[in-house]
Amino acid sequence: MKSVAVVLAVLLAYQCLAVRPALRHQGRPGLGGSWSMSQTFKPSKVNDRDKCKFCVDFAHSAIQTIGEAIVEGGLTKGCQELCSIVANKTGSEAVGLACDGLCVLVGFDEFVHAFEKADVDPIYYCELLKQCPIVDNGDATITNLTVTPKSGPQGDFFVDVEYETKNGTGTGELLIYVDAPDGYPLGASFLKEPLDPGQYGVNFTLHAVPDPGCVAACESFQAGVYNVTMHVCNGQCMSHWPHSKIYDKKMTNFTITGPPPPDMKPWL
Ligand SMILES: *[C@@H]1O[C@H](CO)[C@@H](O)[C@H](O)[C@H]1NC(C)=O
Ligand SMILES: *[C@@H]1O[C@H](CO)[C@@H](O)[C@H](O)[C@H]1NC(C)=O
Ligand SMILES: *[C@@H]1O[C@H](CO)[C@@H](O)[C@H](O)[C@H]1NC(C)=O
Ligand SMILES: *[C@@H]1O[C@H](CO)[C@@H](O)[C@H](O)[C@H]1NC(C)=O
Ligand SMILES: *[C@@H]1O[C@H](CO)[C@@H](O)[C@H](O)[C@H]1NC(C)=O
Ligand SMILES: *[C@@H]1O[C@H](CO)[C@@H](O)[C@H](O)[C@H]1NC(C)=O
């Protein structure tokens, strides 16, 4: 009972403090572009405030930093000290709070041990910490992958994915990856919590307009063919850790014809 209360309290604090982009993370760092996601067929039992999502969100924002904090002496000093280093390094009080809440909940030794075991795989990390369920006989097949519009000027492109699972799925990831003609990585990953057997749909929006605030190594969204690869995975896609597997992947493409017409300039 106590631990549930701790998690809830920390969750609330975290959600109040967190800046939106940090919380509604786009999964892995290093994948570019501006993305959003909406579920078209919603899983019934997934709760926005559940502990698995909380843990994975936290791990995505802090897992690199935990390693550095351990190296810098956080190992001998317990949750509070370790997490204050993490808070300092990430510059986020919210991440520090989440760190503290999770660390106290699972125990310091387990917190650090799981980190060392999972390396930088947030989902496996949270499975080791028993915050995310493990399901190994799951499956998923992508039944439909379409991009709308198929061809058009810079602007929003909607990637619609439908998939079906016969046995249900484990805690995993939806990873979308786009090969752009200019070679910059473009993609996003989203946590997929365990699902019951059934059919599910997700609609990703790619805001395919150059970011005016971007100074270096920027996606230009130049005219050309963009190849889209969609993965549905158990665990983190391409992870070599246990409970990880690519259930299915499919490819499609869309074409950017050029800059938007002048009367349609994006407001961003
Ligand atoms: C956090 O950073 C500040 C300034 O960089 C430093 O003065 C402070 O000691 C740091 N706190 C911890 C716990 O590392
Ligand atoms: C579904 O689960 C059963 C029982 O564990 C297993 O034998 C079967 O291979 C699984 N099906 C798929 C598609 O993975
Ligand atoms: C695939 O998805 C598109 C867009 O949502 C829809 O128009 C189309 O009917 C779907 N195709 C199948 C076979 O379900
Ligand atoms: C997209 O795929 C096609 C064929 O699969 C390939 O010829 C082309 O080079 C790819 N484009 C990019 C940008 O990767
Ligand atoms: C995807 O979502 C966008 C915005 O929510 C909506 O305008 C669009 O019609 C959706 N596309 C499909 C194929 O569901
Ligand atoms: C784009 O995808 C279509 C099928 O959706 C395929 O016929 C075509 O060859 C692809 N084009 C490239 C350049 O890969």
Instruction: Identify the structural domains of the chain with CATH numbers, from first to last.
Output: 2-19+47-128 (no CATH), 141-256 (2.60.40.10)
If 0-12 CB within 10 Å is exposed, 13-18 middle and 19+ buried, where does residue 10 land?
buried
Those residues whose C-beta lies under 8 Å from the C-beta of residue 22, and which sit 6 or more positions away, are: 61, 92, 94, 95
Distances (CA, A) of 249 to 87, 128, 203, 228, 231: 37, 26, 16, 10, 4
Closest ligand 5 atom number to CA of residue 40: 14
Backbone CA torsion sign across 104, 109, 111, 112: positive
* Ligand 4 neighbourhood includes 4 CB (under 6 angstroms): no
For residue 181, the CA-to-ligand 4 centroid distance in Å is: 8
* Ligand 4 neighbourhood includes 223 CB (under 6 angstroms): no
- State the pLDDT at residue 36: 80
Hey, whose CA ends up nearest to atom 13 of ligand 3? 144
Q: How far apart are CA 265 and CA 260, in angstroms?
A: 6
* Ligand 4 neighbourhood includes 185 CB (under 6 angstroms): no
Q: Which two tokens stand for residue 92?
A: 């986020």
Q: Are 240 and 207 in contact (CB under 8 A)?
A: no
> Which residues face 186 on adjacent strands?
32, 178
Distances (CA, A) of 19 to 8, 12, 100, 227: 18, 13, 18, 32
Hey, whose CA ends up nearest to atom 7 of ligand 1? 88
Identify residue 242 by its one-letter amino acid code. Answer: P
Distances (CA, A) of 176 to 39, 90, 181, 227: 15, 26, 16, 10
pTM score over 0.75: yes
Hey, whose CA ends up nearest to atom 14 of ligand 3? 144
Hey, whose CA ends up nearest to atom 5 of ligand 1? 88
- State the pLDDT at residue 44: 56
Mind listing the pLDDT tens digit of every residue in the chain (268 residues)?
333 333 444 443 343 333 323 223 345 555 667 788 777 665 555 554 588 988 998 998 888 888 888 888 767 778 999 999 999 988 988 889 999 999 999 999 999 888 888 777 899 999 999 999 999 999 999 999 999 999 999 999 999 999 999 999 999 999 999 999 988 878 888 899 999 999 999 999 999 998 887 777 778 899 999 999 999 999 999 888 999 999 999 999 999 999 987 766 555 4
* Ligand 1 neighbourhood includes 88 CB (under 6 angstroms): yes
For residue 148, the CA-to-ligand 5 centroid distance in Å is: 8
Q: Which two tokens stand for residue 167?
A: 């046995």
Q: Which two tokens stand for residue 53?
A: 């999502």
For residue 39, the CA-to-ligand 3 centroid distance in Å is: 15
Q: Which two tokens stand for residue 238?
A: 């391409």
Nearest ligand, CA of residue 65?
A: 1
Burial string for 158-176 (b: 16+ CB within 10 Å, else e) reads: ebebbbbbeeebbbbbbbb
> φ, ψ for residue 180 (rounded to 5)?
-95, 150
